[in-house]
Chains A and B, each alone.
Chain A
């Protein structure tokens, strides 16, 4: 038998309530402010994305191989939606909080709960209004996709829908958290702090502990940034979508519990515990959902069709034991290139990190470190490779099945497209903001309707303060999203000296390696003591009027080849990374990151050596070389790519090889000077992805 309240609630129409919530949102300034701020934010990201995409497309005009790497998902959509993500994270809570916070502050909530609606109905209608607000906020980012499409750029419906769904779920989750925060707090300001603690705390999780071993890694999985990343990779994961829906429902249920005034806190706590318990159980269940769809056109999350079919037919369980730390780049490669794909396609697979998810630091001395064991049925084998080209044949051999013949399928052609960004600037800086202001003005003239509900809540001082805080937070945090400076070689000419780097000593040139341009140092042709061609002009370009001293030193002590990054004037703090491969060299196969280069030619370098398996911090003063810190047993195989990284903080120097910290040293003076790349003797090396992230 239904209670009178239930029957009343069932009969009461929901639409007026929804309309009232919409008017509440539209009448406030938070939504419009967010929209206005999102315009330049999204516009700038979109402009940057189409500029970089155009550069890459121009370079790919004569290279079909390079063209295949051009996907609008990665090049345009993900970076543009990324800026929208920032706006939603920092500003959308203020919009969502408004649908409940204002009513609590003005006392209208007490009247609202007396109406013939369940608390749950009230919360779900408010959540629906939040969803509508999010859709409005998405106008700038959606307009960027429309501009791209109208201009002739390629868009994949499946990719954009998946990406949009990921951001929608994220927005709803933020909205639900905001509603819950507003329901448990007395003021909008406190609710905003609680919600921002949740969203920014999620960033902190992502930035600080992602990739760390142990329970920190588990904690990092709660990061909402990680949640979005799966959708950005074009993977529609059943467990992730279901998990997000469960999380949204949980926060909405919690808001329902805490919404009605006049109920004892103890009772609310008990109900909340039931909600959280039910959510936890449901999350455990949905985590078992293995179904996922690779929506990308280039099938980046899947093996080739023939391999996928063959692997899906393997009936025995496959157990993989990985002797790598989770933060090791090799593990990241293995996870992305092999394990994630195997998990998607094989019915019975278990993956385990050996030694209790050891850390890089604790792996030193472990001879098995780097090995990956594969056990299929009663047979097992070990490999150190992270490439499917080597791992799949190994699995086929264990399973006793032949390697499948390739199934003919359409190759991903890539979508190079050059678009002039002028219209985008006009749209995001002028036209769209004007339209938003007009809509704002129009919204303030909406009919008032029921005076009890539609009492216009003026912008009070606390809301203004919140918006100022939000804008300040955006201003402060935006630099954290600054793109690292990466030396782009796509526009360089193969066979010529690099334009983005200044060769000072040695033979440095751009080489084409299978369609990709790389920086090479070729010591085979170089005679010791020879500085690079046109060194006087180069010295002048680097040091202006003070070039003479630098030139003298270089000409007197041209014993070690090096190039200097043109666009980095003075590097003091941050990270410099580069990938390198030793091709040949009888005397040396050295690759170093040069830093602290002074106008007198003195400098420091941390270098790896494929012939010596050591990592050394060298000091060069007046042309004289001396070792400052020497670390041995650093595996650096020749003819393989390695990652070298130098991290500087004042006078503290750290050297990493393949993601592992090997070298730490404190210099007598803080680092300050130009940076570049270094080599030695007859080394013939390839360099790529020279990236500089400077920090204060």
Chain B
């Protein structure tokens, strides 16, 4: 084999390797965009819902009414708290228009599905515009994602994770 042919083969091999690395990197980059920044916390809360002690380890001080503080907040979300000991909830940032709220709702839904892929699935028969439901594999907990209008007139997305059976 001539040196020039070997050089060409090495160049081709390097190109293939570089292309493969680039594609893998790109895939990881794309995947990283789908998996949200709050995925770790969400997985933690979702996992606790299925344990024997439920949310006991992350429930904080009592607030007004039936609300309690949460020791775990989803990154980028606000006002994460518990309603009683069985319902965890967080609000997104506020949006000026309903359209922005609806777009954010769709995005959050995709992010949550991506984050909990495999263990949670959408219940399409329960969905309405601006409202979606996911159940865990054992049907013992639910996540709902809905839109709401705040006192300030801002449109927000709200995530609620709750235990189903009483």
Contact = CB atoms under 8 A, between A and B. Distances in A.
A340 B66 CA distance: 49
B92 interface: no
B3 interface: no
A693 to B, nearest CB: 30
A638 B37 CA distance: 30
Contacts of A632: 125-128
Contacts of A639: 149
A614 B131 contact: yes
Interface in B49-97: 64-67, 83-84, 87, 89, 91
A611 B89 contact: no
A523 B83 CA distance: 11
A368 to B, nearest CB: 15
A476 B115 CA distance: 67
B6 interface: no
9 contacts: A524-B64, A525-B64, A528-B84, A587-B83, A613-B131, A624-B166, A634-B128, A682-B65, A682-B67
Contacts of A614: 126, 128, 131
Contacts of B65: 523-527, 682
Contacts of B149: 638-639
Nearest to A638: B149
Given A528-B84, A586-B83, A638-B149, A611 B131 contact: yes
A638 B65 CA distance: 21
A630 B64 contact: no
Contact of A611 (B64, B83, B148): B148
Interface in B121-166: 125-131, 144, 146, 148-149, 151, 158, 160, 166
Contacts of B64: 524-525
Interface in A657-696: 681-682
Interface string A511-525: 000000000000111
Contact of A633 (B91, B128, B148): B128
Contacts of B67: 682
Contacts of B148: 586, 611, 638
B146 A633 contact: no
Q: Which 4 A-B pairs have the closest CB atoms?
A: A613-B128, A632-B128, A612-B131, A587-B83
Interface in A572-617: 584, 586-587, 611-614
A625 B162 CA distance: 15
Nearest to A681: B83
A51 B166 CA distance: 50
Nearest to B149: A638
A612 B131 CA distance: 5
B66 A527 contact: yes
Contacts of B160: 587
Count class of interface residues, chain B: 20 to 34
Interface string B109-126: 000000000000000011
A213 interface: no
Interface string A613-630: 110000000001100001
A686 to B, nearest CB: 15
A559 interface: yes
A527 B89 CA distance: 17
B151 A584 contact: yes
A528 B66 contact: yes
A633 B126 CA distance: 9
Given A614-B131, A625-B166, 11 more contacts: A523-B65, A525-B65, A526-B65, A528-B66, A528-B83, A559-B166, A586-B91, A587-B160, A614-B126, A630-B126, A638-B149
A189 B88 CA distance: 75
A586 B126 contact: no
Contacts of A612: 128, 131, 144, 146
Contact of A613 (B91, B125, B129): B129
A635 interface: yes
Contacts of A586: 83, 89, 91, 148, 158
A638 B98 CA distance: 12
Nearest to B130: A613
Contacts of B166: 559, 624-625
Contacts of B125: 630, 632
A598 B127 CA distance: 32
A185 B64 CA distance: 78
Nearest to A609: B131
B66 A682 contact: yes
A525 B128 CA distance: 29
A335 B129 CA distance: 28
A527 to B, nearest CB: 5
A630 B83 CA distance: 24
Interface string B24-67: 00000000000000000000000000000000000000001111
A681 B66 contact: yes
A681 to B, nearest CB: 6
Nearest to B131: A612
Instruction: Choose among B67, B84, B128, B158 the residue with the greatest number of A CB atoms under 10 Å from its CB.
Output: B128
A524 to B, nearest CB: 5
Contacts of B91: 586
Nearest to A632: B128
A527 B62 CA distance: 11
Contacts of A635: 129
Contacts of A584: 151
Nearest to B90: A586
A612 B67 CA distance: 20
B145 to A, nearest CB: 10
Contacts of A682: 65-67, 83
A639 B126 CA distance: 23
A523 B67 CA distance: 11
A168 to B, nearest CB: 52
A347 to B, nearest CB: 37
B129 to A, nearest CB: 6
Instruction: Choose among A586, A612, A614, A638 the residue with the greatest number of B CB atoms under 10 Å from its CB.
Output: A586
A625 B146 CA distance: 22
Interface string A418-446: 00000000000000000000000000000
Nearest to A585: B148
A585 to B, nearest CB: 8
Interface string A344-384: 00000000000000000000000000000000000000000
Contacts of B130: 613
A527 B130 CA distance: 28
Contacts of A625: 166
Nearest to A612: B131
